[in-house]
Amino acid sequence: MVTRAPARLSVADAERLLAGPATGLPRLTLAAGEESFLRDRVVRAFGAGATAERSDLLRLEGDDLGGVELAEALASISLFGDLRRIWIREGAKLERAAEEVLLAWAGGDGEGVRVLLTTAREISELKGLETLATRGTVVPCTAAGGDVRRWADRLVEEASLRLPGGALEALLARAPSLLALSQEVEKLALWRRPDGSVAPQALDALSGSRGGASAARWAAAVLARDAAGARSEAAALDLEGIGGSACLWAMAERAFAALEPQAFAYQRGRTASGPPVSARDARRALHAVYQADLALKRGRVPDSELRDFVEREMESGRNG
């Protein structure tokens, strides 16, 4: 059997296409790669296109999607008479039955539906993704050195900033990922003057908050009800591009260490200092971590907002 090479689009081109009319979209688009920042932009464009057309947009979880459920979703008719859009998150985790349904659908006329499948995996890593790619259009969500510089220029332009000399290079040197770079640019935008320029001391202020940010210290501050300390540590974590997922584990570790000190004795030398954690607060923390992880997987809360989510859950539990 002869298979075609998958069509490919850059993230920038995919954004323009997916934000447009559904009639102009590929039946199946695969946004694949480790850069969550790029995948998120593709997803936002896909959603923006649905909003602009006032058409249906359905989100499905790849790790919790059966063949029957997917077949029903693909066969459903839009309530508004337009093409429906379906986003399948983490499509690398599709079970075999769902994968076969999607392949069969993509090999047909794709009438009535346009599908976006996203995954942090590379297409070449899984045979199933390679096969799906031959039926759709691939959007690589990775970034090499030159790509990072181009995205930095674009983010600065989108924020309508005029940075002082050397500022962009300083940001590129500090940001470990595109997500971290975007967060740096967002913070610089807070210093934007009416003409778009940014005071040189803005970079000094940002760099002064860097270095030594600690998810463990954030967890300790939250458990100690030190709101100011938690906010300060969260700001430093943001500047270093450390997402909320790492903080969930830090919170869980501290809670488990309080509940099972013997089992977690090896942690004593490397956890943040702070007052003892009561068993009640430890259980409350584990519940908050569980709820945050569930919200992340179901797409209700992005990684960048997990710390805020946990803090709200902790405060709610204390007041409840």
Structural domain contains residue 97: yes
> End of a domain among 102, 117, 140?
140
Domain count, the chain: 3
> Given the DSSP bridges, would you call strands 113-119 and 137-140 parallel, antiparallel or unpaired?
unpaired
Q: Are residues 259 and 309 in the same domain?
A: yes
Q: What is the pLDDT of residues 183-237, one digit of tens each?
A: 888 888 888 888 988 866 666 655 444 446 788 888 988 998 888 778 877 877 7
CA distances from 180 to 50, 82, 121, 144, 243 (A): 28, 37, 20, 15, 9
| Same domain for 274 and 223 | yes
Same domain, 171 and 265: no
Burial tier of 287 (Cβ tally within 10 Å: 0-12, 13-18, 19+): middle
pTM of the model: 0.62
* 1 falls within a domain: no
- pLDDT tens figures, 255-286: 888 887 654 443 443 444 567 888 889 899 99
Q: Are residues 178 and 81 in the same domain?
A: no
**Which of 105, 140, 175 is the last residue in one of the domains?**
140
Residues 98 and 119 in one domain: yes
Residue among 202, 237, 201, 204 nearest 219 (CA): 237
User: Of 140, 161, 184, which residue sits at a domain end?
Assistant: 140
- The parent domain of residue 176 ranges over 145-208
User: Does one domain contain both 17 and 75?
Assistant: yes
Rounded Cα gap, residues 190 and 172, in angstroms: 19
* Same domain assignment for residues 45 and 130: yes
